[in-house]
Structure 1
Amino acid sequence: MIGLTACVLLVALLAWPVGLLIWANGKIQHVDALSGAPGTPGNTYLLAGSDARGEGISEDGTEGARTDTIMVLHAPSSGPVSLISLPRDTYAEIPGNGASKLNSAYSWGGPPLLVQTVEQLTGLTVDHYVEVGFGGVEGIVDAVGGVELCLDYDVNDERSELVWTAGCHVADGHTALAFSRMRYSDPKGDIGRAERQRQVIGAISAKAANPSIVFRPGDQVALLDSGIGALTVDQSTGIIDLGKLALAFRKANGPDGVTGTPPISNPDYRPGGNVGSTVQLDPETVGQFWVDVRDGNLPPGPVGGLPQ
């Protein structure tokens, strides 16, 4: 009887993670996104933070679906993994629509047009598209019990609802979401917001990777449920791909990774027409920058940022 009980327990222990993965894989939401373009070396993820206005905080009063977070995560065949934030106002050619702000691609054509635009901008073929609903960030942070975030100045921003005292604090989901969205009170604008968004995702990843969660099945289910519920991915991406993404993200944010933005020549470029103020990438260096990202030739550390 003791031997039978031990066998049952062993089977249960082995079956639980398998069953959890199957359950999680079945909950993933899929969308047509990839372009089918010929592959480029390495593995490229396009991470987009979508915001259906009217749900949660409306930081700038904009209505309709938008993507205010656009990141390219690239794991080359060799060399450091790169996590590159593309400012949402980056001036880019939108296939079939002319030049405009990068996030217009999502507004006009959803994930497929955003993927095509980023591929044209970077020269990298997107292998996996992962969209995170902003409202889901709140649930994910609460599911891991809050995350420690740091900002070295006070903030009282009505648009994002972020109230912050300079320093590091443990933030709940609502505060982490506001921390991710705030830009009008940030002296670096969109560039500063991208830095804070990477900080939030990195803090969530570190908390979720804590080995102690292995012994808390209930927390595993809550975390997967809140996390996967916030995700929409391309048709071919599954739970194993998301696991590889998490590992690549941790490498990019580690001491041997590359994080930042492409080289920027003008953060207030005004091309005319109705486009308004945009972010102009440096036309002389950005081409080689993306080649170096692709081939893993960038040295570890921060890259890009505002021009000096």
Structure 2
Amino acid sequence: MKSTRAVKVITSLSVGVVLLASLSWIGLGQVSGRIDRISVFAGLDNRPEKTSKALNYLLVGSDTREGLTKEEMKALRVGSTKTAAGGRSDTMLLVHISKNRDKAFLVSLPRDSLVTIPAHLSTDGKSQIPDRENKLNAAFAFGGAPLLIETIERATNLKMDHYIEVSFAGFAGIVNALGGIEVCTKVDIDDPKSHLVLSAGTHTLDGIEALKYVRTRDFDGRGDIGRMQRQQQFMSSVIKKATSTGVLLNPIKLVNFLNAAISTVKMDENLSKNDLLDLAKQMRGLSSGNVRTLTVPLTTANGRHPTAGSVVIWDPVLSADLWTRIRDDAALVDEVTPSPSASSSSSASASAKPVIVDKFKTRTAAENPCGEIK
């Protein structure tokens, strides 16, 4: 369960930014026909209203072993499909694509976020469970994608337009299709659980090593928060490579990427061929510098709940501001012009440069990841 979020984060990036931005290069009918579609919106009521033509995708990673070879499962030190039946998700990524399709925000939602899970049927279908507080990942365990979507929509008042789910195999295949992804660590990594061993410095990781990297959480004492930061850095590296090596403009590379991704991607029932084609055309100009990654603002990463146990608690003020900005398709980073002091001259005041205020602590995919990871 702990390993899930890594997968979701990376694949979400690849699917949400690279895949959707490039589908117009090959026959959409052929590609769309190979996607495994799932019904996630049919039973949802009282959903938030849309206030702009921006799009919100919920990208979820599943830790199902399906699609992995025995050699890959051995390399990852994970159980088989039989020993890890079904799929679990404990990481979610909210991807917001601006109405002009020229900017994107990727917001990490910690798996242990304390939220109210709406009333739902028990897993055996025999009883009704009332609204109650629990961890966000419990929503997926109790009711799959529909309950997870309903929980997130209530917590954020943001309507999810589409849903994408990926697996271990999809993650590894995407990284390999891109020729590996570069990461930089300032310290040596030797994680006994993910079995990742890296010396300090820059490395290019293949699919399996990349999976280990984004699952790593026990080597530095920062747990899931540290892992989430590494996932965001890795995600930025994926975007940067995809946009700098011509993947979107090279049909051969594009086909390799799609062949690796499509077979392990599940999408909602409402994502049509025309939706994908239109979005791909609109997002041609999206660059890594216009993609910002961030984590929902927190008041504590080590909260306690009487029944849910250890939880992550969102900052009620900053998180509300974040959801409002995303709902209104507004900028996350502000430019504030300093107020002139009583002693300053009018000419000096007029030439004052705006101050950049980034209270959500965002990062762009174009930034050097080596300066971000400790």
TM range (shorter): 0.7 to 0.9
1:189 aligns with 2:246: no
Equivalent residue, structure 1, for 2:355? none
Whole-Å Cα distance in 1 between the matches of residues 63 and 154 of structure 2? 24
Q: Which residue of 2 aligns with 1:48?
A: 60
Range moving further from structure 2, 117-126 or 200-209: 200-209
**Could you tell me which residue of structure 2 aligns to residue 89 of structure 1?**
112
**Residue 10 of structure 1: aligned partner:** none
- C-alpha deviation, 1:213, in angstroms: 7.2
The equivalent residue for 1:211 is 246
2:228 match: secondary structure: helix
1:21 corresponds to which of 24, 28, 39: 28
Match runs of 1:264-275 below 5 Å: 264-273=298-307, 275=308
248, 267, 274: which one aligns with 1:233: 267
In the alignment, structure 1 segments of 5+ residues that lack a partner are 1-16
1:173-231 CA-to-partner distances (Å, cap 9, x unmatched) read: 111111111122244322222232233333334434432675563x4333211111221
2-side partners of 1:19 and 1:124: how far apart? 32
Q: Does the Cα contact within 8 Å between 1:137 and 1:173 map onto a contact in 2?
A: yes
Give the Cα separation in 2 of the matches to 1:196 and 1:283.
25
> Which of the residues 302, 305, 313 maps onto 1:280?
313
Q: Which amino acid aligns with 1:81?
A: A
TM-score (norm 2): 0.67
Query: Are the counterparts in 2 of residues 81 and 248 from structure 1 also a CA contact under 8 Å?
Result: no
Distance of 1:247 and 1:187 partners within structure 2: 42
TM-score, length-scaled by structure 1:
0.80
| Structure 2: gaps spanning 5 or more residues | 1-23, 120-130, 335-357, 363-374
Instruction: Deviation per CA, 1:152-182: give whole Å up to 9, x if none.
Output: 2211112112211122211111111111111
Verify the 8 A CA contact 2:48 2:157 in the aligned structure 1: no
Say if 1:266 and 1:26 are closer, same or farther in 2 by CA, change over 3 A.
Answer: same
Task: Note if contact 1:202-1:250 (Cα within 8 Å) is conserved in structure 2.
Answer: no
Quote the sequence identity (%): 34
Bigger drift between 34-43 and 57-66 goes to 57-66
Cα deviation 1:78-124 (Å, max 9, x = unaligned): 79532110011111111115111101111111111111111111110
Q: Tell me if structure 2 keeps the 8 A contact 1:183–1:192.
A: yes
Within-5 A mapping of 1:255-266: 255-266=289-300
1:68 aligns with 2:90: yes
- Given the superposition, is the C-alpha separation of residues 84 and 53 from structure 1 closer, same or farther in structure 2, using an over 3 Å criterion? same
Q: How many matched pairs? A: 287
Shift of 1:141: 1.1
2:95 is matched by which residue type in structure 1? L
**Given that residues 240 and 288 in structure 2 are in contact (C-alpha distance below 8 angstroms), is that contact kept between their aligned partners in structure 1?**
no
Distance 1:169 1:195 in 2: 17
Distance 1:53 1:144, change over 3 A: closer
More moved, 164-173 vs 177-186: 177-186
Q: How does 1:114-193 map to 2 (within 5 A)?
A: 114-193=148-227
Q: CA deviation at 1:32?
A: 1.1
